[in-house]
Structure 1
Amino acid sequence: MTFRILKKFVILTLSSLCILCPGEIKSAQNEQYIVGVGDILEVNIIQPEQLQTRTTVSPGGDISIPYIGSVRAKGQTITQLQQTIQWRLANGYFKYPVVTVSLIESRSKNYTISGEVVTPGNYPLGENTTVLKAISIAGGFTRFGSSSRVKILRPRQDRPGYRQIKVDIKAVMDGDARADIVIEAGDIIVVSEGIF
């Protein structure tokens, strides 16, 4: 009799692990990732009922989750966000919720380059990407692009809007590496037309 109970317990435990492992593996890979605006996340609520939802982090930094509504996501790691959702569900909705959060697509770690470059657009931000490197990735200057009329519009942390940073690419090309600024997530690089 006790062997049957033990056997059932082992089967239930293994079944639970099979269900949980894929989400835990994804979560472990992304646990240090800091969520940002535009990121696409998948939220799985496994207990007490199965619910899966994909959500995009809003410009305000929130995501919408069934049963609990708006949850602040921006600035949290995947693990922290998972714990926040689980805690909110446990306080008033479910007794022992099991929640996994996975990063589906990172859109917050991008920069934009516009104006007089060959291929303007959004690009994924690599480690230590500088303005000159970003211009190179975008195909370089068009024939109208001016190396002395480049600026970065950097999102402000203290209030809405952008801070303008002028970049002298001509100085960088003349050997002044200090003038080549490392870009950050959300930066917009604007290459203006030269005055002829």
Structure 2
Amino acid sequence: MRVARAALVALSASLLGGCVTTPPPPEAFHAALNQEYRLDAGDRLRVTVFEQDSLSAIYAVDKAGYLSLPLIGSVPARGKTPDEVRSAITAALRNGFLRDPDVSVQVEQYRPFFVMGEVATGGQYSYVPGMTVQNAVAIAGGFSPRAEKRTVDITRQVNGQVITGRVVLSDPVLPGDTVTIRERLF
């Protein structure tokens, strides 16, 4: 009887030991939600130089992280806020091109986010401000029959580091995030 009970306890412990609980994501993972938006490759910016129609247009941040504007050339944008880019453009235009440039920079289109794993159609999708994981899954055609539907993994770049965190469906998605839907075990 004792041997059977000891075997049952050992079996229970080994089964419970197989249950892996994922630690919560690092604090910086969710802190990124409250930080000012940082530009990266794939973002499209509407640059308006008032009273200078030839300079006002929509410019894309290239793979190297730069905007290429007439007259002033390349302006670094990766990791900067739209306001920091506006200041850099203003300073470059003031340096020999315009006396008192009045510049506005707005994000016209955010870089895409990605959905992969157990969804109907994984891939790259256009980001819309205020998007949640549930919205992202819906855009990707919904969960597959084998999907784990309670939590998902989001991989995002925070302060130059790539961080993955397990989140619930109501958590926000940011531009550039990769949302991974895992397969359920049972």
- TM-score range, shorter-chain basis? 0.5 to 0.7
* Pairwise CA RMSD: 3.6
1:193 aligns with 2:183: yes
Q: Which residue of 2 aligns with 1:115?
A: 117
Structure 1 counterpart SS, 2:110: coil
* Counterpart among 72, 90, 102 of residue 68 in structure 1: 72
Find the aligned partners of 1:137 and 1:42 in 2 and give their Cα distance: 26
Query: Does the CA contact (< 8 Å) of 2:46 and 2:108 recur in 1?
Result: no
Distance in 2 (alpha carbons) for counterparts of 1:157 and 1:39: 17
Q: State the match for 2:32 in structure 1.
A: none
Paired residues of 1:118 and 1:140 also in contact (CA < 8 A):
yes
1:54-133 alignment runs, 5 A limit: 54-74=58-78, 75-77=80-82, 80-91=84-95, 93-96=96-99, 98=101, 100-101=103-104, 103=106, 105-108=108-111, 110-121=112-123, 122-127=125-130, 129-133=131-135
Aligned length: 148
Give the superposition deviation at 1:101.
Answer: 4.3
Kindly tell me: are residues 99 and 113 of structure 1, through their superposed partners in 2, closer, same or farther at Cα, counting changes over 3 Å?
same
- Decide which structure has greater helix share: 1
Identity of aligned residues (%): 27
Q: TM-score, normalised by structure 2?
A: 0.58
| Counterpart Cα distance in 1 of 2:132 and 2:47 | 34
Distance in 2, matches of 1:136 and 1:48, equals: 42
Shift of 1:142: 0.9
Per-residue Cα deviation, 1:53-112 (whole angstroms, up to 9, x for no partner)? 54211345321223322213343335x533421221222x3252645445473123x532
Query: What TM-score comes out, normalization by structure 1 length?
Result: 0.56
Query: SS of the counterpart of 1:145?
Result: coil
The aligned counterpart of 2:164 is 164
| 1:18 counterpart residue number | none
Q: 1:130 to 1:95 in 2, by over 3 A?
A: closer
**Residue segments in structure 2 that go unaligned for 5+ positions in a row:** 1-35
Contact 1:117 1:140 in 2 (8 A): yes
1:188 Cα offset (Å): 0.8
> Where do 5+ consecutive residues of structure 1 fail to align?
1-32, 173-179
